[in-house]
Chains A and B, each alone.
Chain A
Amino acid sequence: METNKTKEILKIQDIRVQFGGLSALDGVDLTIPEGAIFGIVGPNGAGKTTLFNVISGILSPTAGKVYFNGKDVTGNPPHVMAKIGIGRTFQVVRPFSSLTVLDNVLAAYGERFYSNIVLSFKNYRKKVYIEEVDKILDETGLLDFRDRVASTLPLGYQRRLEIARALALSPSVILLDESFSGLSFSEMDELSELVLNLNKQGITVLIIEHNMPITLKLCQTISVLNYGKKIAEGEPDDIVHDPLVIEAYLGKKRGKV
């Protein structure tokens, strides 16, 4: 997709999250252009997952705003965020473990029926729906596993399953929370390709990742968080040379010794 019109799809304004006296996010601003692959990096405890939790509605921020397509969506519950087109995956995978792969994705596909009580009582295993979901399973490489119970899948496929589930929402943004961790090299390559493919279809991708090579390769823009604050933002090349970023990472290493 051509991104000559740099419309912002997601705007995060001065987000603060406090747990008790601790500040997990301390005034973070982000602007994510439509169609981007946007990376968020930072040491452990920097507040990356907290940020995702705010965007996806799991946490209400103590202060600040989240705008989606120009509309204020701050504090909406997750199912509302899902409905307007924000899908996400979890750092520790959370498939519907007793359901099959197909049913896992159907459960998300059903989002368009759930708010109508009459439609809610219709049979969900209809050919039309299954065909739609099969397309998603095919795209994410899960078609061979569609009748397997989710809990029996290897981790790499559970991660794909979470992406497939997010895709079934026909999202305009998906948030990938360390989807690459725990994968083999070949799995990482396949997943990178999938991410690029989704992006080509116009889906904006937000990535939290520890694996720097992958982040640098995939993302057009990277934001660096440390102690709940944004300390740098820019293109991958600039980020790796930013003294603040180097300090944040090296400082952490020094702390270990």
Chain B
Amino acid sequence: MSSYLVTLLITMGMYIILALGLNIIVGYAGQISLGHAAFWAIGAYSFAILTTKFSLSFVLSGILAVIITVFIGVILGLPSLRVKEDFLAITTIGINFIVQAVFKYTPFFGGAMGIGGIPFPKWGDNMFTNTQFFILTYIMVFFAMLVSFIFKRSWAGLASSAIKDDELASDMVGIDPRRFKILAFALGSAYAGIAGILYASFMGFISPEDFSFAVSVAILSMVMVGGENTIVGPTFGAILLISLPEIFRPIQDYRMLLYGGLLLIMMRFQPSGFFGEGGIVWRLIKPKKS
């Protein structure tokens, strides 16, 4: 494989993990989050700090980074217990800006310059090749899908769907909504943490600008355009939105316009996305529903 293609596929893999993680929060538990890039940033920065400043090994740093991300993710998910829907959407936007600002204005995190020299994983004594990194990424993608699958068919998944449909009624049948909302944020953050490790390690260099609000919008768009509350939807959404700019490289100047237009047109005419409930793809496969 060419190095361009490998890089593209690795990027795609990271976004699949991010989108699947956000789907647990948005699609399964029905909590709007427009700050997912903040969780991604926390994973990436934790990993970068642990490897460069504390010289911990790749694996140990990785495990700690996920734990830190989940921990902070749970704290940042706490507003979901207090505010709903529109307020939550705006609060999570705020979280994105604030987390980004913390990384940007704290010298410990490298300030606006970011952090460099983040190590690549090793295989024995040798550095990973890009192909090996690609395999590592897709092993993680596989696990992300597996956990999503297990979650969706578990009691916790059922409880989350119930909360999404009607929070009060779910409370009335013995579901503690707070517990499962926090669980969704914890799982979503774990995914973001893993994607953060992959990103920091693969790029070798991270800066606050990598985790802007626009990135959060892109991740949420992958979930919604692909079709929330499914596994194939966010995966497809990530593949689509990552490959579109590459496909449209010849008309690079129009890329963002196409992106904006795609969001608008999908939401206006196909709000459940390509693979969501009653989505366009299902209708094409089996045109008549009995």
Query: Taking beta carbons and an 8 Å cutoff, which residues of A are in contact with B?
Result: 56, 58, 77-79, 82-83, 87-88, 90, 94-99, 103, 106-108, 110-111, 113-115, 119-125, 165-166, 168-169
Q: Tell me which residues across on chain A come within 8 A of B42, comparing CB atoms.
A: none
B170 located at the interface, meaning its Cβ lies under 8 Å from any Cβ of chain A in the complex = yes
Interface string of B170-199 (1 = CB under 8 A from A): 111111110110010000000000000000
Q: Tell me which residues across on chain B come within 8 A of A96, comparing CB atoms.
A: 161-162, 165-166, 169-170
A120 & B174 in contact (Cβ 8 Å cutoff): no
Q: How far is the CA of A125 from the CA of B155 in the complex (A)?
A: 9
Q: Given the interface contacts A98-B277, A107-B159, does A124 sit within 8 Å of B172 by beta carbon?
A: no
Q: Which of A90, A115, A169 is in CB contact (< 8 Å) with B169?
A: A90
B155 & A110 in contact (Cβ 8 Å cutoff): yes
Q: List 14 A-B contacts (CB under 8 A).
A: A58-B172, A78-B171, A78-B172, A79-B172, A83-B174, A88-B172, A96-B165, A96-B169, A99-B162, A107-B158, A107-B170, A110-B174, A114-B176, A120-B159
A-B interface, 5 closest residue pairs, ranked by CB to CB distance from nearest: A111-B174, A108-B173, A82-B174, A96-B165, A78-B171
Q: How far is the CA of A151 from the CA of B151 in the complex (A)?
A: 24
Residues of B within 8 A of A (CB-CB), count? 28
Query: Interface of chain B, helix or strand or loop or mixed?
Result: helix
Q: Tell me which residues across on chain A come within 8 A of B164, comparing CB atoms.
A: 98
Q: Given the interface contacts A123-B153, A125-B153, does A99 sit within 8 Å of B165 by beta carbon?
A: yes
Q: Which of A94, A103, A124, A169 is in CB contact (< 8 Å) with B174?
A: A169
Q: Tell me which residues across on chain B come within 8 A of A123, comparing CB atoms.
A: 150, 153-154
Q: Which residue of B lies closest to A123 (CB)?
A: B153
Q: How far is the CA of A78 from the CA of B178 in the complex (A)?
A: 12
Of B161, B165, B177, most A-chain CB atoms within 10 Å: B165
Q: Which of A79, A97, A106 is in CB contact (< 8 Å) with B171?
A: A79
Q: Given the interface contacts A58-B168, A122-B155, does A79 sit within 8 Å of B175 by beta carbon?
A: yes
Interchain nearest-CB distance for B265 vs A (Å): 24
B156 located at the interface, meaning its Cβ lies under 8 Å from any Cβ of chain A in the complex = yes
Q: How far is the CA of A168 from the CA of B161 in the complex (A)?
A: 17
Q: How far is the CA of A168 from the CA of B173 in the complex (A)?
A: 9
Q: Tell me which residues across on chain A come within 8 A of B180, comparing CB atoms.
A: 114
Q: How far is the CA of A82 from the CA of B150 in the complex (A)?
A: 26
Q: How far is the CA of A72 from the CA of B164 in the complex (A)?
A: 31
Q: How far is the CA of A98 from the CA of B162 in the complex (A)?
A: 9
Q: Which residue of B lies closest to A151 (CB)?
A: B165
Q: Which of B157, B161, B173 is in CB contact (< 8 Å) with A111?
A: B173
Q: Tell me which residues across on chain A come within 8 A of B169, comparing CB atoms.
A: 90, 94-96
Q: How far is the CA of A108 from the CA of B155 in the complex (A)?
A: 10
